[in-house]
Structure 1
Amino acid sequence: MELIKCSIDNCNLRNNGLVATIGQFDGIHIAHQILIEKVCELSEEKELKSAVITFDPHPDLVLKKDANATSIMTLDEKAALIASMGIDYLIVVEFNQNVANMTDSEFVNQFLIKLNVKEIVVGFDFCFGKNGIGKAETISKLANGKINTTIIDNKTYQNEKIGTAMIKKMLLQGNVSLANKLLGRYYKISGEVKKGNQVGSTINLPTANIEIGENDAKIKLGVYASRILIDGNYYYGFSNYGNNPSFNKRDHFILETNIFNFDGNLYGKYITIELIDFIRDERCFNSKDEFLAQIAKDKEVAMAICQKEFK
């Protein structure tokens, strides 16, 4: 797959025609995957190249709709997953006020037509142009028939539309098992292992600590069963997201992970932690013994969850 970063008025890509889908695609959840799979299907059928068109930075940040807009995945993670689905091009358009001010006709004729999009696949509620005036069903008309449009019906879970907002809500509520189901994979957090207060080492509970970025989706404070990817190898473990209220309480939150059957120095290493299921809320313990007793229970629960999940 080729990654192309461009501005809306300078997105030059020599091609014989594209089958494309367009959107933010944060999380690339199961509803997004239907769109992308349809693009690949039409691409093969029409013998055209396939493309996913997305925007960076997040439109909500530029339009100031949400100053605290967060993302389920980074652009690099998005690119890797889209590439694995067989797409030829990921086109990342710089989102700015000029893009936001384009009319629906300008967006179609000055961008999609110039990009040589022949077929476009969008969701039923897709909108574009200033204030979202353009709708999925108007694309072909605005393009004077030069673009064929395939509109995909919404996908729901318990009568609620599956979308990025729904998954973020599940993560914040601690319903990570449902978030994973809607993502079609485990929610993961990647980062460089940082040195913590090293309390864990003094109680025979060493942890790998990584910070969750301010632009990353928020998760519920508490303990999770987790799977950890280190140098291409998977390990089981359990993770706590919080500020360590029982010992040397911090002024910020961090993800601390105890990795089963692992003995090595991870400081400075980039690892990935997949959250498998939520175990319990974060608690403040009255004594070291009370804390250790609960940790032993957490470890047992986490191991049982992982063994059942990956048997």
Structure 2
Amino acid sequence: MDWIKEKYCSIEESCIVAGNLDGLHLGHMAMIDKLEEIAGQRGLASALLSIDRDNAKSGPKCLTSELEKLLLLEDKKIDALISLDVESQDIEAALLNKLKQLGVKVVVIEKGDDQLAIFQKYADMLGYDIVECEPLTVDGQVISSARVAEAVLAHDYELVEKLLGRPYSIGGRVVLGKQKGRTVGMPTANIDYAANKLLPPDGVYGVITMIDGIPFKGMANIGRRPSVDDFDYITVENFILDFSQNVYGKILMMDLHAHIRDVVKFNSLEEVQEQVKQDIQSVHNKLERKFAQYKGEEI
């Protein structure tokens, strides 16, 4: 699948899935299945027209960055992920421009989506069909990006997985940090996440990361680090357990599965080291069943 962020692309006739696709929850994935079906039947290129909110200064935080969408969709039969940055331009003008460039013949979108009226406005003029998909429900309520965000912030990872059909992930390239974790025997992979990414509340988390097809448990610190420094910036650091390879420069996705504890300021290095030992044991205990699933083992 191509990732297209520039103005123009080579697609001439296409079927697209559009609308608020943040989170790629089960409702979105059902629309993508419909996209693949229609594109295959009509011999059209298939594309996901995504609103890029990675660096948005207003509105809600994004559940899935554009890079995360690309990684999550790599097994789908989609020709292109087209990331449309509308932060500095009118969204209607930007969508109209893409509809013309892509030679759109079919638009797949969820009923009631905020962008639906824009696509209806230009359907006759540009000669494309609109396929409206019914929203999906879980526990009697419609699946929505807002509902996923609420569950993430409430540490309700069981509900998150029911809404997404997978765990909530944080992805990005591993960059060089201050290497303070090494001083407590905890070298971490620092994830360069999207600036507007929705992060869970500051704390320590049990995560699982796939590296070259192999799952690894991890203890992630998300948020500020009062025991290390007084800076106000937020970091996402993953201490990958039972792992010693160099991952600098790699793109990693870590799946959140358990909230271990909130951030605490410790008074000494010894206190930090003792707590790290306890946290690692908690990660092993809480992730035992999930980790077995990743490895394909029967529970």
Q: Per the shorter chain, which TM-score range?
A: 0.7 to 0.9
**Partners of 2:77 and 2:104 in 1: how far apart?**
18
**Partners of 1:277 and 1:97 in 2: how far apart?**
37
Aligned-partner SS, 1:166? helix
Aligned length: 291
Q: Using a 3 Å threshold, how does the CA distance of structure 1 residues 40 and 71 change in structure 2: closer, same or farther?
A: same
**Partners of 2:93 and 2:194 in 1: how far apart?**
32
Residue 278, structure 1, aligned to residue 274, structure 2: no
**Partners of 2:98 and 2:209 in 1: how far apart?**
42
Aligned-partner SS, 2:48? strand
Residue 117, structure 1, aligned to residue 113, structure 2: no
- Opposite residue 112 of structure 2, the aligned amino acid is D
Superposed CA offset, 1:93-148 (max 9, x none): 45366643549xx94xx7646743333221011243xxx7x267x469x5179433
**Partners of 1:126 and 1:170 in 2: how far apart?**
21
**Partners of 2:87 and 2:270 in 1: how far apart?**
55
- Opposite residue 42 of structure 1, the aligned amino acid is I
Q: Unaligned 5+ residue runs, structure 1? A: none
Measured after TM superposition, the shift of residue 207 of structure 1 is 3.0
**Partners of 2:75 and 2:130 in 1: how far apart?**
24
Q: TM-score, normalised by structure 2?
A: 0.78
| % identity of equivalent residues | 26
Q: Using a 3 Å threshold, how does the CA distance of structure 1 residues 260 and 221 change in structure 2: closer, same or farther?
A: same
What does residue 13 of structure 1 align with? Answer: 11
Measured after TM superposition, the shift of residue 292 of structure 1 is 4.0
What does residue 224 of structure 1 align with? Answer: 205
Greater Rg by CA: 1
What does residue 196 of structure 1 align with? Answer: 178
What does residue 23 of structure 1 align with? Answer: 19
What does residue 262 of structure 1 align with? Answer: 243
**8 Å Cα contact 1:240/1:255 also seen in 2:** yes
Q: TM-score, normalised by structure 1?
A: 0.76
**8 Å Cα contact 1:211/1:253 also seen in 2:** no
What does residue 296 of structure 2 align with? Answer: none
Measured after TM superposition, the shift of residue 38 of structure 1 is 0.8
Residue 72, structure 1, aligned to residue 63, structure 2: yes
Pairwise CA RMSD: 3.5
Superposed CA offset, 1:240-296 (max 9, x none): 223232344443232233222223455555544322222221223355555444433
**8 Å Cα contact 1:40/1:87 also seen in 2:** yes
**8 Å Cα contact 1:155/1:162 also seen in 2:** yes
**8 Å Cα contact 1:194/1:210 also seen in 2:** no
**Partners of 2:31 and 2:118 in 1: how far apart?**
16
